[in-house]
Chain A
Amino acid sequence: MKILVVEDDKTTGPYVAAGLREEGHTVDLLANGREGLVQAAAADYDVLVLDRMLPDLDGLSLIKTLRGAGNRTPAIMLTAVSGVNDRIEGLEAGADDYLVKPFAFGELSARVAALARRPGLQQQETRLCVGDLEMDLVQHKVTRAGQEIPLLPREFTLLEHLLRRKGRVQTRTMLLEAVWDITFDPQTNVVETHISRLRAKVDRPFDNELIETVRGAGYRIAVA
């Protein structure tokens, strides 16, 4: 993927750029809002990573201007400002995702990947499969190795979310947002407890584990 990172912090910027390059992406790093706007408008990027506070032109104005000009490149906003309405302001300005500092690189990487492959005009699927696991979206039924697994509604949603994004890491905060619509950060590791419950039903009675833990990042269902 081709990614533009606009971040003026001399430690964070290069670190993010280096990390994304290590994952195989092509990364351009800029430290100035105005230059960032010119570059984002001129070249064709897959994802934009924008800091909110930038010299010359702040991230909010940058994304607003870009969207005003019809540019729809998925953008994630990095920010130190994380008040009650700041997230909403960021999304209203046109950002697709919002990540509060300090963040772990794994979180950013997972969100960048999610943005690039947003399930947009995807075909309506009726069943999702991985290995011997099958999810019937019409009848709301999950079977593994021909055996039906009874799931609570929210467990079903959680599994569906992971299945639809198989092979891609979903961080705890991403799962909280997507499955429970929670945008604050609980201090107890609640996602872990839900995952372990799901595992007890989906993985434990069987030979191999489908739900993987990605250290320091989140969870993922392997491609096969």
Chain B
Amino acid sequence: MRQSLWLSLLFLLTSALSLGITYYVAKSAQQSAIEESLIQDMAGFQATPSASALAVLVRAQTSESDPKKRLLSYRLPNGRVIAGNSAVTQQEAGFRLVVLGPEPTPVQGPFLLLSRHIHGGLMTVAESADPLEKLQETFLRVFLFSLLPAIAIAVLGGVLLARRSARRLTELEQVLARLTTGDLTARASTPVGATDDLNRISTSVNRMAEAQENSMMALKQVSADIAHDLKSPIQRVSVHAERLQAIPGLPAEAKEIAAKTLAETKGIDQTFQSLLQIAQIEGGSPAARFQTVDLADTARTIAEIYEPAAEEEGRRLQLDLPEGPVFVRGDKTLIGQLLANLLENALRHTPRGSDIHLSLLGGRQPQLILRDHGSGIPQKEQVNVLRRLYRLERSRSTPGSGLGLSLVQAIADLHRADLTLRTVEPGLEVQVSFPKADV
């Protein structure tokens, strides 16, 4: 908007300047034309052989001249005008022309004047500078009737264009916001025939979104294919193991082997499942289904699910939640899973009987904090534990896939939440800080 006003002002200035120059040039040309004609007239007068001949010529020309346009005067040194239709008098301010006639009147309007001493008298020729005045008037009219409307149109057009650009920028911003939150079907409008910068950017954004959508679809397809090709055989193994278990009179040892086989297939499936899920979450597609989630309610439910399991190990699961709801935008199932993974980690990697503390801070940037009283994670390992399939040396003997925290990290990233691990004496504190709520 401001830019368009500046442009309009610049347009106005250049137009006025060029009109001014044109006027100046035209005026000079006109003026020199008048001067030229005066000089030629004078040359004619100078060519006369004597004062009387000049007087005859002047009288002849005077009778043909309109005193409003052309004035002539031939004056003797004593001041007597012997021929012409006007008299030049010298006054303090300069020369003055007086039109002679029944009643001498001062000359009206501007005149250009040339005087020469010829044959002892002063010959003066003057021509009206009226055309110069007319020229000025014409230029003023040109300015009023053509330039002013043009400027008005320019300003108005600029403002409208600026408005339209602003609207399209807002639209583009909205499209980008939708794309970053996982809605890959969002597209910017590209009006047919428009070739401006915004249109080019919109086209590029659309092309990018399309590529992203395609690769997302491809990833989904590949995940589905892998899932199908790997899960079907896993399913078959578990079918075989189940059938084996069901054979009547099977020795106890064989039954146990079948049960172990089933447990292993479940383990394979869970690892595989987590990997697929992390890939999908990192692809960003679940963000498209974000809803308003009450963190307090989710934390309460998940804590309640694990509370008896904690109690069985002689632990206390302490809850510190705000009274009211704490809303964030997100996927309820995934946030629940994040909490479940953190709680399971705490249950698995800390000694029996140690307490676990889950708290939620409300406010503009909600924060989930889970604190255990185990031995924490060594400083130099804190980056590693977020890596996929990574397991601490001392944890190799406990069950788990090594994907729990990677999944937590992926879910936190999807929600634009910060995940931080901190060893506090004693124990580990995990913080999940959600971004400022938009609403």
Residues of A within 8 A of B (CB): 9, 11-12, 15, 53, 80-85, 88, 100-105, 154, 176, 180-190, 193-194, 196-197, 216
Contacts and interface: CB of A to CB of B under 8 A. Distances in A.
Contact of B235 (A101, A180, A197): A101
Contacts, number: 112
**Which 9 residue pairs are nearest across A and B when measured between Cβ atoms?**
A80-B231, A193-B308, A102-B235, A11-B236, A84-B286, A80-B227, A80-B228, A101-B235, A102-B238
6 contacts: A80-B228, A83-B277, A101-B235, A102-B235, A104-B262, A188-B347
A82 B274 CA distance: 10
A82 B227 contact: yes
B400 interface: yes
B391 to A, nearest CB: 14
Given A15-B243, A80-B227, 9 more contacts: A12-B239, A53-B228, A81-B227, A102-B234, A102-B237, A103-B235, A182-B340, A187-B399, A194-B305
Interface stretch (B183-191, B192-200, B330-338): B330-338
Classify the interface of chain B: helix, strand, loop or mixed.
helix
Nearest to B332: A181
Contacts of A15: 239, 242-243
B223 interface: yes
A196 to B, nearest CB: 8
A83 B221 CA distance: 12
Given A84-B286, A184-B337, A102 B269 contact: yes
A156 to B, nearest CB: 13
Contacts of B280: 83-84
Contacts of B340: 182, 184, 186
A199 B220 CA distance: 44
Interface string B300-322: 01001110110110000000000
A15 B311 CA distance: 40
B306 A84 contact: no
A181 B333 CA distance: 9
B304 A154 contact: yes
Interface in B267-318: 269-270, 273, 276-277, 280-281, 285-286, 289, 301, 304-306, 308-309, 311-312
Contacts of B305: 176, 180, 182, 186, 190, 194
Interface in B189-225: 220, 223-224
A80 B238 CA distance: 14
B117 interface: no
A197 B308 contact: yes
B68 interface: no
A196 B277 CA distance: 32
A102 B231 contact: yes
Nearest to B305: A190
A84 B308 contact: no
Contact of A102 (B265, B311, B312): B265
A189 B306 CA distance: 9
A12 B286 contact: no
B232 A80 contact: yes
B301 A9 contact: no
A172 B238 CA distance: 18
B301 A180 contact: yes
B413 interface: no
A12 B232 contact: yes
B164 interface: no
A190 to B, nearest CB: 5
Contacts of A182: 301, 305, 333, 336, 340
B347 to A, nearest CB: 6
B171 interface: no
Contacts of A190: 305-306, 308-309
A190 B313 CA distance: 13
Interface string B238-260: 11101101000000000000000
B401 to A, nearest CB: 9
B360 to A, nearest CB: 18
Contact of B232 (A100, A101, A186): A101
Nearest to B265: A102
A88 B289 contact: yes
B344 interface: yes
Given A102-B269, A186-B305, A83 B262 contact: no
Nearest to B310: A193
B286 A85 contact: yes
